[in-house]
């Protein structure tokens, strides 16, 4: 079994990309050619429409991304129909050779976290290759994910400094004795990440560090050298390519950058007639935006477009 940190770095080298595309299917924004009458309110037809959209997205972005990142909320809305669409999406992405990162942000008491770890990193129907984890419950809450990942050759990204505007309310709290909460978490994560460093210098334990907070990323990197960063917030959330520099190491590695809405719904830039675009037009808009995002990120990493 290959080491997951190595596997992720090598996949990025092979495909010459650090981009991850989020799969956040929102029926309201899916053109009729793909939606086929599915109803955003009742969920009637949701399974087929979500899977059809994700298949178009996966086909359009596959050559540009290191992984796809389903966001669980958008599937849970429709209950078992949504989760069936997720199962089909994961199988389809894997059939295209893509890694799958479930953006679930789970975290619970020990036995429950072990059950979540099995759901997302085991071999069941919604398991992928990586999962995001919330550290609010302390080590009981995240260790079952890390231990499962280590044993299964998979990856975990622990939330450290999230991309949203209010992330500082809790994560930036100044602690007695000095330092911010996220830096304390970073130091703790380094201890855990360092248990399993691969040939390329990175662990199977990664960290979520928002692309909207480059200064914080610089500080976190000084304490947390062994973790690959998952960097959300690029694109629709306002993070720019230039601000991504501090997230990467000197080789231009050590981070994967996630974009969801800016790529998924790129075709909405054409104006109000987006809902009547053909599948080919939708696919082209998504593929071109993914290619642009990949190139912009590669330029910051010091890689030229090919």
Residues 6+ apart with CB under 8 A from 202: 5, 6, 8, 9, 226, 227, 228, 253, 254
Name the active-site residue from 15, 96, 105, 294.
Answer: 105
Judged by CB under 8 A, the stretch of 133-141, 198-206, 277-285, 293-301 that binds a second copy is 133-141
Q: What is the largest CA-CA distance in the chain?
A: 59
- 3-class DSSP assignment, residue 198: coil
| Residue 89 binds a second copy (CB under 8 A) | no
What are the φ and ψ backbone dihedral angles of 255, each rounded to 5 degrees?
-150, 150
Distance CA 175, CA 197 (A): 29
Of the residues 2, 32, 39, 139, which one makes contact with a second copy according to CB under 8 A: 139
Q: What is the DSSP string of 27-57?
A: GGGS-HHHHTT--TTT-TTHHHHHHHHHHHH
Q: Return the residues of window 90-109 that contact a second copy according to CB under 8 A.
A: 105-109
In the complex, least distance from residue 128 CB atom to a second copy, rounded to whole angstroms: 12
In the complex, least distance from residue 163 CB atom to a second copy, rounded to whole angstroms: 6
| Residue 136 binds a second copy (CB under 8 A) | yes
Nearer to a second copy, 80 or 270 (CB): 80
Report which secondary-structure segment, H or E, holds 147: helix 139-152
Distance CA 54, CA 56 (A): 5
Of the residues 45, 70, 135, 235, which one makes contact with a second copy according to CB under 8 A: 135
The half-sphere exposure of 222 on its side-chain side, counting CA atoms within 13 A, is 8
What are the φ and ψ backbone dihedral angles of 180, each rounded to 5 degrees?
-95, 160
| Residue 169 binds a second copy (CB under 8 A) | yes
Q: Return the residues of window 12-71 that contact a second copy according to CB under 8 A.
A: 24, 26, 43, 71
Tokens of 222: 């000084």
Of the residues 89, 148, 237, 298, which one makes contact with a second copy according to CB under 8 A: 237
State the burial class of residue 189 (Cβ atoms within 10 Å of its Cβ: 0-12, 13-18, 19+): buried
Assess whether 105 carries a catalytic annotation: yes
Of the residues 51, 116, 145, 247, which one makes contact with a second copy according to CB under 8 A: 116
Q: How many residues bind a second copy (CB under 8 A)?
A: 64
| Residue 303 binds a second copy (CB under 8 A) | no
Of the residues 17, 54, 84, 298, which one makes contact with a second copy according to CB under 8 A: 84
Nearer to a second copy, 118 or 284 (CB): 118
Of the residues 15, 16, 184, 268, which one makes contact with a second copy according to CB under 8 A: 184
Range 69-108 burial, b when 16+ CB lie within 10 A, else e: bbbbebbebbeebbbbbbbbbbebbeeeebbbbbbbbbbb
Nearer to a second copy, 173 or 280 (CB): 173
Nearer to a second copy, 122 or 201 (CB): 122
| Residue 199 binds a second copy (CB under 8 A) | no
Tokens of 85: 């669409």
| Residue 171 binds a second copy (CB under 8 A) | yes
Residues designated catalytic: 105
Binding site for a second copy (CB under 8 A): 24, 26, 43, 71, 73-74, 76-81, 83-84, 86-87, 105-110, 112-113, 115-116, 118-120, 122, 124-126, 134-141, 159, 162-171, 173-178, 181, 184-185, 188, 232, 237
């Amino acid at each position: 079994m290959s080491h997951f940190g190595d596997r992720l770095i090598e996949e990025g080298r092979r495909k010459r990309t650090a981009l991850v595309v989020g799969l956040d299917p929102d029926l309201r924004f899916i053109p009729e050619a793909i939606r086929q009458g599915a109803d955003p309110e009742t969920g009637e037809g949701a399974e087929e429409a979500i899977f059809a959209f994700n298949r178009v997205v996966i086909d359009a972005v596959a050559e540009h991304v290191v992984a796809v990142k389903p966001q669980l909320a958008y599937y849970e809305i429709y209950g078992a129909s949504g989760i069936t669409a997720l199962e089909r999406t994961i199988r389809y992405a894997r059939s295209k050779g893509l890694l799958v990162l479930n953006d679930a942000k789970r975290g619970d008491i020990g036995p429950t976290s072990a059950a979540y770890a099995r759901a997302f990193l085991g071999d069941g129907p919604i398991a992928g290759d990586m999962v995001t984890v919330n550290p609010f419950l302390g080590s009981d809450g995240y260790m079952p994910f890390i231990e499962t990942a280590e044993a299964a050759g998979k990856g975990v990204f622990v939330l450290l400094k999230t991309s949203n505007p209010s992330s500082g309310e809790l994560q930036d709290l100044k602690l007695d004795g000095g330092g911010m909460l996220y830096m304390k978490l970073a130091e703790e994560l380094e201890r855990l990440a360092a248990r399993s460093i691969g040939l390329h210098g990175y662990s199977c334990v990664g960290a979520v560090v928002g692309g909207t907070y480059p200064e914080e990323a610089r500080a976190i990197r000084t304490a947390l050298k062994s973790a690959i960063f998952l960097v959300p917030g690029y694109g629709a959330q306002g993070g720019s390519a230039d601000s991504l520099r501090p997230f990467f190491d000197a080789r231009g590695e050590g981070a994967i950058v996630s974009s969801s809405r800016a790529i998924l719904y790129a075709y909405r830039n054409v104006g109000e007639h987006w809902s009547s675009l053909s599948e080919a037009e939708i696919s082209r808009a998504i593929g071109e935006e993914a290619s642009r995002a990949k190139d912009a990120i590669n330029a910051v990493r010091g890689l030229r477009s090919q």
